[in-house]
Structure 1
Amino acid sequence: MSRRVSLPAADDLFRPTADRSGTTADKAEKTPLAAVAEDAAVVPGESTTAAKEPRKPSGRIRHDEKMTVYVTSDELLDIEHARLTLRRTTGKAVDRGRLVRSAIAIALADLEQNGDDSVLVSRLRDS
């Protein structure tokens, strides 16, 4: 009997695990850029959600996508300070990722509602 361990192949490790919208064959037939462009084809100031539902952060769920953002040490300290303030005042232990996802949801909802007059646009214009 062999003592070698059988490990899964790369195809097994990196296979799609969930069908998001429609079949995976529909997305696979399109080029990645075409799929992204189709998903991102949004008219500025126009809501992409059905019946103008307010944008909400995803909360505590398993997230399939990852994005790396670099911040300064002062910005990181501000995020930690906000996290600890929320814990002290509301009693909710919120991690940095959840705090950032909530802030993104607020900024995007403001952008959808106010367009060029949103806080996000004015801050980007000033920087």
Structure 2
Amino acid sequence: MNRRPSLPGAAELFRLTSAPAISEEIAPAEVSTSDVTPLQRRGSGRTKHTTKITVYVSDEELLALEHARLALRADHGLGVDRGRVVREAIAIVLDDLETHGDASLLVRRLREQ
């Protein structure tokens, strides 16, 4: 009886985790932010993310985010994590900024500070 645990090999530990290739039909140079309508932008959902940022929030903001996540689960049957809520919120704010510009909620709130 072998008592050694079965561990992943180097190939599994150091595999490439690159993003899928872009279709040849749409080259990156052909897509601009002005081509994205508010209904097209969505949070990235449950996918493998290759880029990470760190955002510091207050205890109250984190608690509010967790309450929102729990409300989405309890009241709406949506089992989402905090990251997904944040990505959707970012998509909404960016759409509002693109659509309303100077009158967007983001611009107005940042000017209040």
Q: Same-fold call, TM > 0.5?
A: yes
CA distance in 2, matches of 1:14, 1:88: 38
Does residue 47 (structure 1) correspond to residue 34 (structure 2)? The answer is: yes
The aligned counterpart of 1:81 is 67
Q: Does the CA-based 8 Å contact 2:93-2:106 persist in structure 1?
A: yes
CA distance in 2, matches of 1:16, 1:62: 8
The aligned counterpart of 2:43 is 57
TM-score (ref. length: structure 1):
0.64
SS of residue paired to 1:71? coil
TM-score (ref. length: structure 2):
0.71
1:1-127 → structure 2 map (5 Å cutoff): 13=14, 17-18=18-19, 20=21, 47-49=34-36, 52=37, 54=39, 55-127=41-113
Which structure 2 segments of 5+ residues have no match?
1-8, 24-28
Equivalent residue pairs, number: 96
- The superposition leaves residues 5-63 of structure 1 with CA deviations (integer Å, 9 ceiling, x where unpaired) of x957xxxx4967346559xxxxxxxxxxxxxxx9xxx7xxx7242xx362111111111
**% identical equivalent positions:** 48
CA distance in 1, matches of 2:20, 2:74: 40
CA RMSD of aligned residues (A): 2.6
**Does the C-alpha gap of structure 1 residues 21 and 121 become closer, same or farther in structure 2, counting only changes over 3 Å?**
same
Q: Which amino acid aligns with 2:85?
A: L
Post-superposition, which runs of at least 4 consecutive aligned residues in structure 1 deviate over 6 A? none
